[in-house]
Structure 1
Amino acid sequence: MHPGVDFWTVFSLIFLVTAIPVAIMIILEKRSPFKTAAWVLALILLPVFGVVFYLFFGQEYRKKKLFSRKGLKSLNVYRKLSFRQIRQFEHSLDKLNPTARGKENIIRLLLKNSNALLTTGNELQILNNGEETFTAIFGAIKAARHHVHLEYYILDNDKIGNQLKDLLIEKRREGVEVRMIVDDVGSWGLGKKYMTELREKGVEIYSFMEVRFPRLTSQVNYRNHRKIVVVDGKIGFTGGLNIADRYLRGLKRIGPWHDTHLQITGDAVNCLQVVFAADWFFVVNENLNGENYFPPLKEYPGTPVQISASGPDSDWDSIGQAFFAALGSAKSKIYIVTPYLMPPLEIIYALKTAALSNVDVRILMPEKSDSIIPRWSSFSYIEELLEAGVRVFFFQSGFIHSKYLVVDDVFSSIGTTNLDFRSLETNFEVNAFVYEEAFNADLATLFKNDLKNSYEIKLDEWKQRSWRFKLRESLAHLVSPLL
């Protein structure tokens, strides 16, 4: 028999017993047509590799309730409070100024889809780079008297990582409780020695969802991208920065690293603590309760904030839904900063609809990136947005990793969520949603200052890019729902 026949026979058998059954499973899951088509195409073109890739990265666990919070006492308390706010929603709105009440649809949505309490007694500070962020976080930790809780996607065994290690050991020596969660994939290079040294000194540090056989295929795709610091239940931090030298010094091939973080003082810290407590319960099976961790809500006058977490542990894509609602309700402006631009179809639709409705829609993104395929995939979405009137800007002074959204004069959001499929649909994320004109104006000023270090992409010029450029972005576009 001709060798070619043997090859195609074997190939056909492999296709029949691997790709076709998996393709049927994917179709029965009833995901978005875009994502389903991408997975089926991958299986057709690369049947064996596509099956392996799906087993590692494609399985959907939100509906299967793999990440259960059943038994978590602190979360149940805040669920009851959120239900009370829903019942007394008009009373909750009385705490807001009339302008903020215009976003009551988003407030109500976050109450229902993620039990995100509307807290008013808050003070916020925008931290605009690594130096400001690490100075503030380290200062808060140094002043800790009862506990320090940290949760990060990336913790590196480098200069800043060791400074943090030494500080945590010092606080533990003083009798302060120290708990830390690091993502097992994001912090893969941390090393056992680093964690062992912390544990020997009394610091409780755990990896989130260790990627080990035989559990590898069920967990590797669901990563904890949250960045949370809570000190004494009174001061909290979240945003785009992890613990690594690159966030201070940048990277040689892409230049300085630009990022944004948020410092919170007030009742919203309790809500940030709930997110940490839920993840701690999942990893350690220990409940954190009591006023030392959750001081009584004071409801003082201040900045209105909702803390929303999303991921496989929630029933809804809560942050993505809030983004969609905010974009759909925009009247005058939408400012977005994201390091990766791979939005789901509904977000693209909302952006284009807003721009066509004469809303001033601007997106700031990096021209250089720390990841090749997401860079080209991000480029693939630009032309259709430009055609609708969305203004897109390339940041020029290094790599911008900030993640925030400004809508009109009163609504803004800052946190860990990128404008891409992975953040909005798969990863564990957390964002602060803010309803105040002064904070909105500060974030808008930061955006406009960053625009000074950017250049605007014009549609006519963008269409002139080479066919090689277009081919690379088109190929990357096919896999963007899978990244």
Structure 2
Amino acid sequence: MGYKSAQKSTTATPRLKRIMLTLYFWITLCGYLVTLLLIPVLLLQKKRPVSTVAWLFLIVLAPYFGALFYVVFGVNRVQRRVRRKTVSDREISRLLPELTHYQLLPGEGLTTKQQNIVRLINRLSSTRPTINNRIELLNDTNQTLGLIEQAILAAEHSLHLEYYIWQMDRTGTRVRDLLIQKAHAGVTVRFLYDGIGSMFLSRKFLRPMIDAGIQVAAFLPGRSFRERWSINLRSHRKIVIVDGQIGFTGGMNIGDEYLGRNPQLGYWRDTHLKMQGPVVLQLQQVFAEDWFYAVGEELTQPALYPDPRISGDNIAQIVSSGPIDEFNSFHALFFAAIAKAEQNITMATSYFVPTEPLMAALTTAAFRGVKVRLLLSGRGAYRWMLYAGRGYYDELLDAGVEIFEYQKGLLHSKTLTIDGNWSLVGTANFDVRSLLLNFEVGVAVYDQEMARQLETAFEKDIASARVIDSESWENRGLGQRLSENLMKIFSPVL
């Protein structure tokens, strides 16, 4: 009996090997066929050359994984939706009220440097600088959430909220319940969330909002098979507008972790703005455009664009950006602001994966003698993004750029100051996704005091940061170098 079993085993083994070799042959052949089919498709896409090379490398190196990754993330399926968003934005902009009586006259109250940036933003955006704003810089997430909740409770007529991520935890539930409370009190509440960033929001969580009369909508929800292939087209905006009088925007989403309650991430360092004045009406327009695209409702009622009750000294304007822009507004704005800098550039960003033009702008500014300082996250939820950013350190250090990695917790701020008289605070990171793919929003402030406050916060933050110097960076391990350079290769597709 034992002899027969052994004989069967020896005859079965060669047969199994032949089957496995045949399967391996066909799997390999199919992989290369998929690669050969995708290469011409990739070459016909209107991508940046460096992005095309990165995709080619990934597809050839790992045919099945690379092909699947490219089909999901790389194929440009957003054009139809981009065209639809462009048309809807133009339509709602045509219907919205003119805010000319709040706009700054050309050249009024601005330095020559500031006027140069104004001309660029005017070309990139439909907004103009507005006067008489009161803008408060918020550097603590608990304080930020407290002010948002306070403003929600004081709402009399309307509440508009748009968020990339809204968690179903204690914080998300508490803010949701405040919205429900105001809806029961007769306040009109509209809630727009991103269909991918907040994809785990359940019907059970949203049902009490809907039952209370809150209008709830998802920005590109990804429910249909076709929409699931458009996951690159995301709204990364964080917007709160109360009665058209108070506005909030910045880097902070809604959830426990953004208050430092996630032990794995620790302290959460973020920057937000509280705004009052005409600039809030510009933020209202951004929300109205997104709402019209998602829902089809025209938010053109005069009551949504009231005369500001509060007057301040800040000159500011809203800058919005997205794949519908002809010139990628934030990318062009970052490039021009850095190129125009004469004295100093101070930037904080959670993700640093620059395009080639922006790297050239930063290094050239440093070569010109401009003091360039970057505060980047020393830890992150996405390790590969951290490695990709570090892949650019050598070139930056050689140019004389000062680099700091935040160590106290997770840095999530997105701020830029130029020459101590111009600032940008918003939702956009200094990476390919924020600058070229996402819908983002920011506030440009033409004010020395705001720049001073941001630079003071920067100095406080770098006290809790690791200084990256050329000598120690040269001595890092081989494994770290390999990880950084590998992720840098793929940075155009991250």
Common fold: TM-score over 0.5: yes
**SS of equivalent residue, structure 1 residue 286:** coil
Asked if the contact 2:134–2:276 (Cα under 8 Å) also holds between the matched residues in 1, the reply is: yes
Aligned to 2:5: none
Looking at structure 2, the residues matched to 300 and 136 of structure 1 have their Cα atoms a distance apart, in angstroms, of: 19
Alignment pair present for 1:385 and 2:396: yes
Aligned to 1:15: 32
Aligned to 2:474: 463
Of 201, 205, 222 in structure 1, the residue corresponding to residue 212 of structure 2 is 201
Q: 1:298 to 1:131 in 2, by over 3 A?
A: closer
Q: 1:6 to 1:156 in 2, by over 3 A?
A: closer
The Cα shift of 1:208 comes to: 1.5
**SS of equivalent residue, structure 2 residue 131:** coil
Identical-pair percentage: 35
Report the TM-score when normalising by structure 1.
0.93
Looking at structure 1, the residues matched to 252 and 155 of structure 2 have their Cα atoms a distance apart, in angstroms, of: 21
The Cα shift of 1:361 comes to: 0.3
The Cα shift of 1:471 comes to: 1.1
Asked if the contact 2:276–2:310 (Cα under 8 Å) also holds between the matched residues in 1, the reply is: no
Once superposed, what is the RMSD of the aligned Cα atoms? 2.4
**SS of equivalent residue, structure 1 residue 226:** coil
Aligned to 2:165: 154
Asked if the contact 1:127–1:261 (Cα under 8 Å) also holds between the matched residues in 2, the reply is: yes
Looking at structure 2, the residues matched to 468 and 225 of structure 1 have their Cα atoms a distance apart, in angstroms, of: 33
Asked if the contact 1:69–1:282 (Cα under 8 Å) also holds between the matched residues in 2, the reply is: no
Alignment pair present for 1:233 and 2:244: yes
Of 87, 93, 98 in structure 2, the residue corresponding to residue 75 of structure 1 is 93
Corresponding pairs, count: 475
Aligned to 1:319: 330
Asked if the contact 1:360–1:390 (Cα under 8 Å) also holds between the matched residues in 2, the reply is: yes
Q: Which amino acid aligns with 1:285?
A: G
Looking at structure 1, the residues matched to 312 and 138 of structure 2 have their Cα atoms a distance apart, in angstroms, of: 22
Aligned to 1:105: 116
Asked if the contact 1:69–1:278 (Cα under 8 Å) also holds between the matched residues in 2, the reply is: no
Asked if the contact 2:246–2:280 (Cα under 8 Å) also holds between the matched residues in 1, the reply is: yes
Of 80, 94, 99 in structure 1, the residue corresponding to residue 107 of structure 2 is 94
Alignment pair present for 1:400 and 2:418: no
**SS of equivalent residue, structure 2 residue 428:** coil
Looking at structure 2, the residues matched to 234 and 57 of structure 1 have their Cα atoms a distance apart, in angstroms, of: 39
Looking at structure 1, the residues matched to 450 and 132 of structure 2 have their Cα atoms a distance apart, in angstroms, of: 14
Of 280, 290, 308 in structure 2, the residue corresponding to residue 279 of structure 1 is 290
Asked if the contact 2:107–2:115 (Cα under 8 Å) also holds between the matched residues in 1, the reply is: no
Alignment pair present for 1:270 and 2:277: no
Alignment pair present for 1:340 and 2:356: no
Q: Which amino acid aligns with 1:437?
A: Q
Name the stretch that deviates more: 347-356 or 299-308.
299-308
The Cα shift of 1:61 comes to: 5.2
Q: 1:254 to 1:52 in 2, by over 3 A?
A: same
Looking at structure 2, the residues matched to 366 and 218 of structure 1 have their Cα atoms a distance apart, in angstroms, of: 30
**SS of equivalent residue, structure 1 residue 189:** coil
Looking at structure 2, the residues matched to 302 and 62 of structure 1 have their Cα atoms a distance apart, in angstroms, of: 41
Asked if the contact 1:308–1:432 (Cα under 8 Å) also holds between the matched residues in 2, the reply is: yes
Of 173, 188, 192 in structure 2, the residue corresponding to residue 177 of structure 1 is 188
Looking at structure 2, the residues matched to 66 and 427 of structure 1 have their Cα atoms a distance apart, in angstroms, of: 15
Q: 1:351 to 1:78 in 2, by over 3 A?
A: farther
**SS of equivalent residue, structure 2 residue 130:** coil
Looking at structure 2, the residues matched to 474 and 299 of structure 1 have their Cα atoms a distance apart, in angstroms, of: 51
Of 121, 133, 137 in structure 2, the residue corresponding to residue 126 of structure 1 is 137
Name the stretch that deviates more: 292-301 or 266-275.
292-301
**SS of equivalent residue, structure 1 residue 120:** strand
Aligned to 2:58: 42
Structure 2 residue runs without a partner (length 5+): 1-17
Cα displacement string for residues 2-23 of structure 1 (whole angstroms, at most 9, x for unaligned residues): 975774465234423x223322
Cα displacement string for residues 402-425 of structure 1 (whole angstroms, at most 9, x for unaligned residues): 110011021110000001111011
The Cα shift of 1:461 comes to: 0.6
Alignment pair present for 1:28 and 2:59: no
The Cα shift of 1:297 comes to: 7.7
Looking at structure 2, the residues matched to 300 and 139 of structure 1 have their Cα atoms a distance apart, in angstroms, of: 20
Report the TM-score when normalising by structure 2.
0.91
Alignment pair present for 1:59 and 2:75: yes
Q: Which amino acid aligns with 1:45?
A: L
Aligned to 1:440: 451
Aligned to 1:166: 177
Looking at structure 2, the residues matched to 431 and 67 of structure 1 have their Cα atoms a distance apart, in angstroms, of: 23
**SS of equivalent residue, structure 2 residue 105:** helix
The Cα shift of 1:102 comes to: 1.5
Asked if the contact 2:351–2:385 (Cα under 8 Å) also holds between the matched residues in 1, the reply is: yes
Aligned to 2:125: 114
Q: Which amino acid aligns with 2:345?
A: I
Q: 1:314 to 1:218 in 2, by over 3 A?
A: farther
**SS of equivalent residue, structure 1 residue 124:** strand
Q: Which amino acid aligns with 1:11?
A: T
Looking at structure 2, the residues matched to 31 and 155 of structure 1 have their Cα atoms a distance apart, in angstroms, of: 32
Looking at structure 1, the residues matched to 333 and 261 of structure 2 have their Cα atoms a distance apart, in angstroms, of: 31
Asked if the contact 1:133–1:261 (Cα under 8 Å) also holds between the matched residues in 2, the reply is: yes
Looking at structure 2, the residues matched to 155 and 170 of structure 1 have their Cα atoms a distance apart, in angstroms, of: 18
Looking at structure 2, the residues matched to 332 and 189 of structure 1 have their Cα atoms a distance apart, in angstroms, of: 45
Q: Which amino acid aligns with 2:50?
A: F
Asked if the contact 2:245–2:309 (Cα under 8 Å) also holds between the matched residues in 1, the reply is: no
**SS of equivalent residue, structure 1 residue 175:** coil
Asked if the contact 1:267–1:299 (Cα under 8 Å) also holds between the matched residues in 2, the reply is: no
The Cα shift of 1:198 comes to: 0.8
Cα displacement string for residues 222-248 of structure 1 (whole angstroms, at most 9, x for unaligned residues): 121100001111110000100001111
Asked if the contact 1:257–1:400 (Cα under 8 Å) also holds between the matched residues in 2, the reply is: yes
**SS of equivalent residue, structure 1 residue 121:** strand
Q: Which amino acid aligns with 2:87?
A: K
Q: Which amino acid aligns with 2:75?
A: Q
Looking at structure 1, the residues matched to 478 and 105 of structure 2 have their Cα atoms a distance apart, in angstroms, of: 55
Q: Which amino acid aligns with 1:396?
A: Q
Asked if the contact 2:134–2:311 (Cα under 8 Å) also holds between the matched residues in 1, the reply is: no
Aligned to 2:225: 214
Looking at structure 2, the residues matched to 176 and 81 of structure 1 have their Cα atoms a distance apart, in angstroms, of: 25
Looking at structure 2, the residues matched to 359 and 470 of structure 1 have their Cα atoms a distance apart, in angstroms, of: 28
Looking at structure 2, the residues matched to 92 and 140 of structure 1 have their Cα atoms a distance apart, in angstroms, of: 31
Structure 1 residue runs without a partner (length 5+): none
The Cα shift of 1:29 comes to: 2.3
Asked if the contact 1:211–1:219 (Cα under 8 Å) also holds between the matched residues in 2, the reply is: yes
**SS of equivalent residue, structure 1 residue 123:** strand
**SS of equivalent residue, structure 1 residue 55:** helix
Q: Which amino acid aligns with 2:332?
A: Q
Aligned to 2:8: none
